[in-house]
Amino acid sequence: TVEDIAKVVYFLISDAANYITGQVINVDGGMVM
């Protein structure tokens, strides 16, 4: 959903994601593990 993607985007722009680079993040409700 749009809300799920917004939560990931919010996390990625926060200071908590400082060390995350070059990652593929699947936002699919757990369909891909």
Question: Using one digit for the tens of pLDDT, what is the confidence trace for 2-27?
Answer: 898 899 899 889 999 988 888 888 88
Whether this prediction's pTM lies above 0.75 is answered by no
Q: Which domain holds residue 17?
A: 1-33
| Nearest one of 22, 20, 27 to 5, comparing CA atoms | 27
pLDDT at 32 over 80: no
Length of the chain: 33
Report the distance separating Cα 15 and Cα 5, nearest Å. Answer: 18
Query: Which two structure tokens, joined as six digits, stand for 17?
Result: 């994601």
pLDDT score, position 4? 86
CA distances from 26 to 4, 5, 9, 32 (A): 11, 10, 12, 7
Question: How many domains does the structure of the chain reveal?
Answer: 1
Distance CA 18, CA 33 (A): 24
